[in-house]
Structure 1
Amino acid sequence: MIRFENVSKRYPDGTVAVDDLSFEVGEGELVTLVGPSGCGKTTTMKMVNRLIEPTGGRILLDGEDIAGIEPVQLRRRIGYVIQQVGLFPHKSVLENTATVPSLLGWKRAAARERAAELLDLVGLDPKVFGPRYPDQLSGGQRQRVGVARALAADPPVLLMDEPFGAVDPVVRERLQTEFLNLQANVRKTVLFVTHDIEEAVRLGDRIAVYGEGRIEQYDTPATVLGKPATPYVAQFVGSDRGLKRLSVTAIEPSDLEQPPTVRLEDTVESAAARMREEDARWAVVLDANGELHGWVQLDALALAKGGAVRDHARRMEAWVPVGANLKQAFSAMLQYDAGWIAVVDGAKFTGVLTPARLHEALRRSIDADSSGVDRAEVTIETVG
């Protein structure tokens, strides 16, 4: 979708902002450009919509050299979101969102209908927020409007220049989550500029790590964290890159243990007998449909005088859904001071993740990337 071929940007005073840049962004891919201030990442992005003109090489958009496209027409085909949002203060939220469709000649009713759809998509009720003006919104709400406006004409490409950098950390994390959910639905080709490696890792399908006007490494977040290409990249991503990698390593079925399970309607005696047979001090409690209910301790059953498991089961607080990453699992363990967490598919119990298995999963993921094989093929030696 976007291809850079030996692109450079040199200014008259001799400053080289971008030097011989070549990389490609696939259709529907979200690529984060990350690096320190002045490294050329924003220049790279602005050359895509010709806010800055390259001095060498060429940029292709869906196979077409953008140098041959009239700049205004090009920009109307590309969504653009910046940190300060840039909403028109004298226009309502709905009018701001309908700006590009209106410029493209859409009928007023169609443009406003599209704007309302996009506001709803980014979590702003158009009936509530549409009539408001930018100064009546919070910073996070303005950023959502900025994203909605950029998507209003359904552009194939979205450029985002540190869009969440001006809000507080809590709002920023929420906006990142919402944007990932949005991207899963709209699948735009996105160039996302950030100086924050954690944001780059969380959002990007691939990451371009910038040095001085050049890309030092262009790869998946897991590979950048697990196998930095240069000492510069290793220093930039940080000595805690192993912890950062938790957020890009998904829990897989092979990572889970299968503890004993008992049913709510089981008698105390039968459940206790099963747990003793498996030499287990606790068991996961499921309902009649195999859905997670909680857990029960053998000691509690041993002291009971008859009855059913349901009378002694404890609520399960520590759990994550299938598809969660290791960071989410680790966070749940810490939050609930749990020695293990359950993994569920919907409400169906699939297994538990222990700290030892979490560690093994991380090591297996790193070794798999280094060897170019699937995680299931990696054998981890443990000291026991």
Structure 2
Amino acid sequence: MIRLDRVTKRYPDGTDAVADLSLDVATGELVTLVGPSGCGKTTTMKMVNRLIEPTSGRIFLDDEDITRADPVKLRRRMGYVIQSGGLFPHRTVLENTVTVPSLLGWDRKKARSRGVELLELVGLDPAKLGDRYPHQLSGGQRQRVGVARALAADPPVLLMDEPFGAVDPVVREHLQTEFLRLQQELRKTILFVTHDIEEAVRLGDRMAVFSMGGRIEQFDTPSSVLGAPANDYVADFVGADRGLKRLSVTEITPDDLELPPIVHLDDPMPEALAKLRAAGSRWAVVLDDAGDLHGWVDDRVGTGTVRDRARRMEAWVPVHASLKQAFGEMLQHDAGWIAVVDGDRFVGVLTPARLHEALRRSIGAEERDIPPAEVVLDTIEG
């Protein structure tokens, strides 16, 4: 969809903001550009929509050399989101949202309908907020309006320049979650500039790590960048805690789980206790007759039925959740294990030891280019 071929931006004083850069972004892919301030990542993105003209090289959009296109028409084919949304202060939320459709000559009714649809899509109530002005919104709300405006004409490409950088960490995480939901639904082709390595890892299908002078040191999946940095620069940039960062891009798999003793709601407690003793365990997972997770029970009381003694399962995650999400649940509930479910169906439990093994297997698989299940972990006993 987007291809940069040996693009350079050189300023009159001889400084290269971007040097001989080649980059490709596939249709429906979200690529994050990450690096220190002044490394050329924003310049790279602005050359794609010709806000900055390249000194040399070619840029293609769907095999069309856009360095020869009308820049105004080009920009109307791309959504553009910046910090704080970049909204027009004298226009209402709804008027801001339909800016591009209006410029493209859409009739008023069609444009308004599209604006209402998009405000709802980004989680804003057009009936309550559509007639407000940007200064009457929170920072997170302004960012959502900015995203809605960028999507208004249904562009195939979105360019996003640190769009969540001006909000507090809690709102930022919520916006990232909502944006990932939107991307799963819309599958736009996105260039996303950020200085935040964790944001780049969380959002990107691939990430380009820039060094000063607009050079890409590594362009790969987040898991590859974290698991196998291309050089010392990348290793230093992603940080010594890159193993912890990798938790967010490593999914739980069935191979990571343990199967504890399982009892059912109508089992007599003496039978349940006998099952626990046979397994050498002090607790069991409780399922209903359909095999759905109900809770858990321990060995402290041996009378009545399991239904009478079962406790609510507080710590659980859905199958294919990230190891980071699982680790967070463990810490929040001070749990020695958490349940993993597929809908309501119980799949297994993840323990801290298994979580650590899953992370080690993921890193080993990346380094050796083999499936995680084939990684043999070294142990003290081994």
State the TM-score, normalized to the length of structure 2: 0.98
Q: Determine if contact 2:84/2:139 at 8 Å carries over to the other structure.
A: no
**What is the one-letter code of the residue matched to 2:99?**
T
2:356 aligns with 359
Correspondence list, 1:105-144, <5 A: 105-144=105-144
Distance 1:333 1:344 in 2: 15
| Percent of paired sites with the same residue | 73
Distance 1:152 1:88 in 2: 15
Residue deviations 1:13-56 (CA, integer Å, cap 9, x gap): 11100000011101000000000110000000000000001011
Correspondence list, 1:369-380, <5 A: 369-380=366-377
1:345 aligns with 342
Other structure's SS at 2:85 match: coil
Other structure's SS at 2:123 match: coil
Q: Determine if contact 2:258/2:350 at 8 Å carries over to the other structure.
A: yes
Other structure's SS at 1:333 match: helix
Deviation at 1:382, TM superposition (A): 2.6
Distance 1:322 1:166 in 2: 33
Residue deviations 1:78-121 (CA, integer Å, cap 9, x gap): 00000132211111111110110111111110001001100000
Distance 1:86 1:248 in 2: 31
Distance 1:143 1:328 in 2: 25
**What is the one-letter code of the residue matched to 2:237?**
F
Correspondence list, 1:295-374, <5 A: 295-298=296-299, 300-301=300-301, 304=302, 306-374=303-371
Distance 1:269 1:383 in 2: 39
Give the RMSD, CA atoms, in angstroms: 0.9
Distance 2:12 2:91 in 1: 39
Other structure's SS at 2:141 match: helix
Other structure's SS at 1:207 match: strand
Distance 1:190 1:65 in 2: 18
Distance 2:112 2:251 in 1: 40
Distance 2:119 2:370 in 1: 43
Q: Determine if contact 2:7/2:59 at 8 Å carries over to the other structure.
A: yes
**Further displaced range: 273-282 or 136-145:** 273-282
Deviation at 1:383, TM superposition (A): 3.1
**What is the one-letter code of the residue matched to 2:325?**
Q
1:238 aligns with 239
Distance 1:323 1:135 in 2: 40
Q: Determine if contact 2:122/2:144 at 8 Å carries over to the other structure.
A: yes
Which ranges of structure 1 fall in alignment gaps of 5 or more residues? none
Distance 2:187 2:272 in 1: 49
2:46 aligns with 46
Deviation at 1:377, TM superposition (A): 1.6
Distance 1:203 1:67 in 2: 28
2:222 aligns with 221
**What is the one-letter code of the residue matched to 2:25?**
V
Correspondence list, 1:48-87, <5 A: 48-87=48-87
Residue deviations 1:218-244 (CA, integer Å, cap 9, x gap): 000001001100100000000000100
1:146 aligns with 146
**What is the one-letter code of the residue matched to 2:372?**
R
Runs of 4+ in 1 over 4 A off after TM superposition: none
1:279 aligns with 280
Deviation at 1:58, TM superposition (A): 0.4
Correspondence list, 1:174-185, <5 A: 174-185=174-185
**What is the one-letter code of the residue matched to 1:218?**
F
**What is the one-letter code of the residue matched to 1:28?**
G
Distance 1:67 1:203 in 2: 28
**What is the one-letter code of the residue matched to 1:379?**
V
Q: Determine if contact 2:58/2:65 at 8 Å carries over to the other structure.
A: yes
2:163 aligns with 163
Distance 1:105 1:319 in 2: 51
Distance 2:13 2:255 in 1: 57
Which ranges of structure 2 fall in alignment gaps of 5 or more residues? none
Other structure's SS at 2:229 match: coil
Distance 2:331 2:204 in 1: 26
Q: Determine if contact 2:223/2:250 at 8 Å carries over to the other structure.
A: yes
Q: Determine if contact 2:32/2:194 at 8 Å carries over to the other structure.
A: yes
